[in-house]
Amino acid sequence: MNKSLKLWMFAAILAICGAIVFIASANDDSAAVVKEADVTPSQSRVGYSACETQVSYTHCDPLPKTGKPELVSGTWEMNDGILQHKACEQAPLAICNYVIPSDHYTIQCTARKDSGPDGFIIVFNYVDAQHYCLLNYGCEGNTKHAIEQIIGNKRKQMATRPGSVETGKWYDVKLTVAGDTIKAWLDSELMFDEKLNMK
């Protein structure tokens, strides 16, 4: 094999390898997950959570009342139409069975802190137990409110403000999702007007 043929074959191999590397990078699943996590899913569910705190919730309106929520994790009870978490668990999840077929929706419910160190948590944009967002009223020892996003074992606070909730008081909670724009109210006071962004 002459020298020029060897050089031509070597160059061809390099080009093929470069193309393979480029294709692998373009199809990297982890990169795709991060990109998808930056936007509100086209369909999702909503629900409830807590953090080592005992809380009570009413059903989110105007969702169809599809019975008892899916109890993804933690200890929950349904008493006279009120969903309650009475244990001291880190991240219990109770998710409404109805799938919202849009990335534009509004939900309203009432929530109450019954006892414990933190407040109450509304779950939204729930795809599965590894991908969802939190509207967290009274987090970090009931010292602030936050919007958070969960992706796998990563948790990011996208917006925070000082605030707390009273034990034993029912609060009206309203949340609107319009694509990646999130607005949240607590007793008619606008608490957040934010755009989801994991970057």
Going from N- to C-terminal start, the domains of the chain cover 3-36, 41-195
Mean pLDDT lowest among 25-29, 56-60, 101-105: 25-29
Confidence of residue 65 (pLDDT cuts 50, 70, 90): confident
- Please work out, in degrees rounded to the nearest 5, the angle formed at the alpha carbon of residue 61 by the alpha carbons of 109 and 194: 65
Fold of 41-195: Jelly Rolls (2.60.120)
Of 101, 113, 111, the residue nearest 184 (C-alpha): 111
Quick one: pLDDT at residue 196?
81
Q: What is the pLDDT of residue 181?
A: 94
- pLDDT the model gives residue 27: 34
| Selection from 91, 84, 89, 102 nearest residue 45 by Cα | 102
Tokens of 130: 């590894």
Tens digit of each residue's pLDDT (9 = 90 or more) over 106-140: 999 999 999 999 999 999 999 999 999 999 999 99
Output the pLDDT for position 1: 54
Q: What is the mean pLDDT of residues 152-176?
A: 95
Considering only residues 28 and 97, tell me which one the structure prediction assigns the higher pLDDT. Answer: 97
What is the predicted pLDDT for the residue at 29? 33
pTM: 0.79
pLDDT given at position 13: 39
